[in-house]
Chains A and B, each alone.
Chain A
Amino acid sequence: MFVRGLKRKCFDGEEDIEGTLAGIKAIPSYNLQRQSLLDMSLVKLQLCHMLVEPNLCRSVLIANTVRQIQEEMTQDGTWQMINTQSTGQASLDRLVSTDILCRSSREQAEGKHVPGYSTFNKDFQGDQAQDSSETMSTAPSVQGPRNLQSNMWEMENPQENKGTFQKSLDQIFETLENKSPNSVEDLFSEVDNSYYDLDTMLTGMMSNTKMGHCDGLETFSSTTTTASNSNCKSDLNELDHIVEILVES
């Protein structure tokens, strides 16, 4: 990460600009800050290097932060409320994170039980996915395998959410742990071959590093599209098909 000074002030601005008019306008609500912290954390968990094992300490700390936020949100009931907010900046933030999350949901929709972390890196390819993500947001979740992402959609039942959330977090840990010997066969049978395509990986890494800046909405919307376009197209056709069915029903 190449940072010159500090770019964004999330929670940071509070002490400095308290009391000034401009400051009051600029301070986002606590809920919004918390949500953006949650989004940032989820993205961090997903953006792991593909060639080298992710840092377990860092992943654990981020995951604990996510749990903390989720617990707090469950306690004050805002976990449920996210779904009901439909206008304003809040929903835009939600779209931001769900945009990312949706791409991996797409992978899940194909029925592959690919370990979460290897899937996420492919997700940042394909602008086409963006449109489908917006359509997805209105449809109830169809994904069979539960994952972290689907949790953002299934807001109706917070108790259930806690379970799926936990389970999804666990999935991430399983992948971070790099699979027990039992799952070696699974590892080889279910991983998408394009994972090993060097071009795909490198492209994924390049767009990942761009992601890392977390420059708010702009970054997420300008993902690069390169190598696995053909994969995206076939995936999208399937996705469209699924959405069609849902919408008709």
Chain B
Amino acid sequence: FLGAGGGNDIQWCFSQVKGAVDDDVAEADIISTVEFNHSGELLATGDKGGRVVIFQQEQENKTQSHSRGEYNVYSTFQSHEPEFDYLKSLEIEEKINKIRWLPQKNAAQFLLSTNDKTIKLWKISERDKRPEGYNLKEEDGRYRDPTTVTTLRVPVFRPMDLMVEASPRRIFANAHTYHINSISINSDYETYLSADDLRINLWHLEITDRSFNIVDIKPANMEELTEVITAAEFHPNSCNTFVYSSSKGTIRLCDMRASALCDRHSKLFEEPEDPSNRSFFSEIISSISDVKFSHSGRYMMTRDYLSVKIWDLNMENRPVETYQVHEYLRSKLCSLYENDCIFDKFECCWNGSDRQRYFLPSPPCSIVMTGSYNNFFRMFDRNTKRDITLEASRENNKPRTVLKPRKVCASGKRKKDEISVDSLDFNKKILHTAWHPKENIIAVATTNNLYIFQDKMN
């Protein structure tokens, strides 16, 4: 990727794959969210069955300097259960829509996980010692016969096999009529927001019985509804600023100091429509599926159906950069509308900083990554303007072999090794990807498998 000499480009290698091997995908195993914690040591996934699986990176082996630590299962727990709303006679899915980690304050780890209606704060803690030598109890817990107790002793902690426990510390419920699509922790680390299709609420992490509504776009008459909220995020540094995106391709930046209900935006980011590309599908493909601030907060990235756009917060009338993810799909929009793929919500992410290459940095937020179909995912280097398409597949993937770039042939004669648009498998979609905050390690989720790739060191 990097310009100074070809040898400094990132070469991605397969590292690990997690999940079932067979093609028959169990519905509950479908991965619905992927997120690294702030140090990158932990990697959490949520699935359609309401489970959270956390992987932990092994400490780097000093003797094996050519590879970074592997990720192994650290904790698995059932975060959400299916519920039934009796009033509406509808099921509430247990699918985990988003996971967000809190920065670590003590020995325990905390994360927020949410389904369509309820957000939960989970504490993940390790236990590797236990007290032994009670006065009144045997080691197995049975009470001793009091007459046999003749001495007094103080229990001592003795080591035990590591146990990782997850316990729900807070449950934030009953605040959303519509389906929650985003949660975002504020830079004050005390509050967070949750956004559904029509409203955004502000919570305090300690308080579960109350939340403040800060955005409400529900019209008085539902008949007038033409736009919904699709994603929301707090600014990484300004604790009073957040953005939310809409199904019409707009992003609104709001300042909570302006008023209690932030219905009037401070800034409105919208790119004027290209009249030459206008079709009945224009609005649908402009709907933003994800929004992510850059680390500095100066830029934000949005993902719509066909492209990734980088916006400068100082310029509202158009993005500063646009990257086409799979432009070859533009002529297939009708079919994609028919089979509902046009409504797929792809996420996007920035690269972190690469501490391994401190002498020739991959500056943070210089590369963006997003998924596509056929288990392809794409990366765009903002500096070199080069892009690459890679595939997450078990075939031909041995550890430390460099991934071969893929290419889709849009039209005309297909070259060897290219794949034609009509051969793409639209069932194999990569919606969720995550980039390690400090190293060139990426986690890519296919339907039910989690792939981990790292760059080839040396």
Contacts and interface: CB of A to CB of B under 8 A. Distances in A.
Physical interaction between A and B? yes
Interface of A: 1-12, 14-16, 34, 37, 40, 44, 51-53, 55-58, 60-61, 63-65, 68-69, 166-167, 169-170, 173-174, 176-179, 184, 196, 212, 214
B64 interface: no
Given A60-B226, A63-B226, A174-B223, 14 more contacts: A7-B338, A7-B339, A8-B334, A8-B338, A9-B335, A11-B333, A37-B280, A37-B334, A56-B228, A57-B197, A61-B283, A61-B284, A61-B287, A65-B280
Contacts of A40: 337-338
For B87, B197, B335, B423, the residue with the greatest tally of chain A CB atoms inside 10 Å of its CB is B335
B230 A6 contact: no
A7 B335 contact: yes
Contacts of A5: 422-426
B279 interface: yes
Contact of B335 (A8, A15, A55, A65): A8
B247 interface: yes
Given A53-B90, A170-B222, A173-B222, A3 B283 contact: no
A178 B90 contact: yes
A64 B227 CA distance: 9
Contacts of A68: 280, 283
A16 B90 contact: no
7 contacts: A4-B425, A12-B332, A37-B280, A57-B197, A64-B226, A166-B223, A177-B222
B14 to A, nearest CB: 26
B32 to A, nearest CB: 14
Contacts of B335: 6-10, 12
A3 B179 contact: no
Contacts of B338: 7-8, 10, 40, 214
B343 A61 contact: yes
A137 to B, nearest CB: 25
B340 interface: yes
A65 B283 contact: yes
A68 B422 CA distance: 29
Contacts of B284: 61, 65
B91 interface: yes
B444 to A, nearest CB: 22
Nearest to A173: B222
Contacts of B384: none
A233 B343 CA distance: 38
B118 to A, nearest CB: 15
A178 B88 contact: yes
B89 interface: yes
Contacts of A15: 331
Give 5 nearest A-B pairs by CB, closest first. A170-B223, A10-B334, A6-B335, A56-B197, A11-B334
B89 A196 contact: yes
Contacts of A214: 338
Interface size for chain B: under 10, 10 to 19, 20 to 34, or 35 or more residues? Answer: 35 or more
Contacts, number: 117
B439 to A, nearest CB: 35
Contacts of A37: 280, 334, 337
B72 to A, nearest CB: 33
Contacts of B343: 55, 57-58, 61
B225 A61 contact: no
Contacts of B331: 12, 14-16
Given A3-B341, A166-B223, A184-B87, A9 B427 contact: no
A56 B219 CA distance: 14
Nearest to A5: B422
B339 to A, nearest CB: 5
Contacts of B221: 170
A170 B213 CA distance: 26
B270 interface: no
A61 B249 CA distance: 12
B287 to A, nearest CB: 6
Nearest to A181: B87
B178 interface: yes
B421 to A, nearest CB: 8
Given A1-B339, A6-B422, A57 B228 contact: yes
Contacts of B341: 1, 3
A2 B284 CA distance: 21
Contact of B332 (A6, A51, A173, A184): A6
Interface string B257-289: 000000000000000000000011101100100
B93 interface: yes
A32 B228 CA distance: 30
For A6, A15, A44, A169, the residue with the greatest tally of chain B CB atoms inside 10 Å of its CB is A6
A24 B226 CA distance: 37
Contact of A55 (B179, B283, B337): B179
B90 A60 contact: no
Contacts of A167: 223
Contacts of B150: none
Given A3-B339, A3-B427, A10-B334, A52 B91 contact: yes
Given A2-B427, A57-B247, A174 B91 contact: no
B396 interface: no
Contact of B91 (A6, A51, A58, A64): A51
A8 B89 CA distance: 36
B427 A60 contact: no
B411 interface: yes
Interface string B336-373: 11111101000000000000000000000000000000
A191 to B, nearest CB: 9
A118 B427 CA distance: 29
Contacts of B426: 3, 5-6
A106 B403 CA distance: 58
Contacts of B90: 51-53, 178
A12 B17 CA distance: 37
A79 to B, nearest CB: 16
Interface in B171-200: 178-179, 197-198
Contacts of B223: 166-167, 169-170, 173-174
A131 B423 CA distance: 40
Interface in B214-256: 221-223, 225-228, 230, 247
For B88, B178, B197, B222, the residue with the greatest tally of chain A CB atoms inside 10 Å of its CB is B222
Interface in B421-446: 421-427
